[in-house]
Amino acid sequence: MNGYSLFKYPSHNDYPSHWDQYALKYAKLLKPGTLYYLHKRVMYDIIEKFAFPDIDTKGLEILDVNCGTGNDFPYLLSKGNVTGIDGSQGMLNKAYEKHREQILSQNLTLYHGNLEEFNESSLENKSFDLIYSITGGFSYINDDELSRVLKVFKAMLKPGGYIITGHLNTFCLVESLIWLLRGKMKRILLRLKKQVKTKYGSTMYFRNKKMLDSIITSHFSHVEYFPLICISPPYQTGINTKPKTFEVLRRIENFMVKNKFGVSWADQIVVLCR
């Protein structure tokens, strides 16, 4: 047994765990013009500019790691077939509800399992052109597990394929300034601890470029780092934005990405490797 199985809907309806309950809110976050949507659009711009020019984008096979409620599926499905994996049955319930037609047409496949159980046979020996994960995908496994799963993912890449992942940074300048103005000093220090126990019993891991570099370069020779949200407020601050402001912020963030400036103090660090 590899701990992974094809997801069957409905797995349950009572959403007992924290992540299952969070799925009810998380499924509603993807709204155009919001700061959450800004994170997504800038991430997609990174893929378009720095990965897809080197890939034949007709009928890609894509793996979305810790896909949650499938908020990235609309973009990823526009590029090919998608396989989504997640450890929360509640998250996968919502992903199924939103993308049922794509699942029935076999353009989208969902698997249930935790990253700690992931191995080469977890997905029936599938291989991928793009392996993708953003925000929390790798924030709940330690360094040894991160190194292990990256090795497994590397073996699942097709020739010329990319792994593109977002990692929560150990310091976010804009977020820190916002918490300072709100008088929440403990929130400023949170990321600097690098390992934080959540009230749900799990551990959240924050990693800076140096920490990521020490893990990732042991597996990949081609590695690039980009800032993801280093001028705009991160969406977790709860700040709202207007459509015109959204477009301005997107242009600014893309300028920072193009010049790879702000990696040390961005909300997340995007790592592109092949």
Give the pLDDT confidence of 188-224 residue by residue, as tens digits.
999 999 999 887 778 999 999 999 999 999 999 999 9
Question: What are the domain boundaries of the chain?
Answer: 5-273
Pairing state between β 5-6 and 108-112: antiparallel
* 71-82: average pLDDT: 96
pLDDT in tens, 122-177: 999 999 999 999 987 899 999 999 999 999 999 999 999 999 999 999 999 999 99
pTM assigned to the model? 0.94
5-273: in CATH 3.40.50.150: yes
The model's pLDDT over 118-133, given as tens digits with 9 standing for 90+, comes to: 999 999 999 999 999 9
Q: Which two tokens stand for residue 265?
A: 């103090």
pLDDT value at 1 more than 60: no
pLDDT at position 200 is 72
User: With contact defined as beta carbons under 8 Å apart, do 114 and 89 qualify?
Assistant: no
Mean pLDDT score, 82-110: 96
Burial 183-210 (b: 16+ CB within 10 A, else e): eeeebbebbeeeeeeeeeeeebbbbbbe
Token pair of 189 as six digits: 């220090």
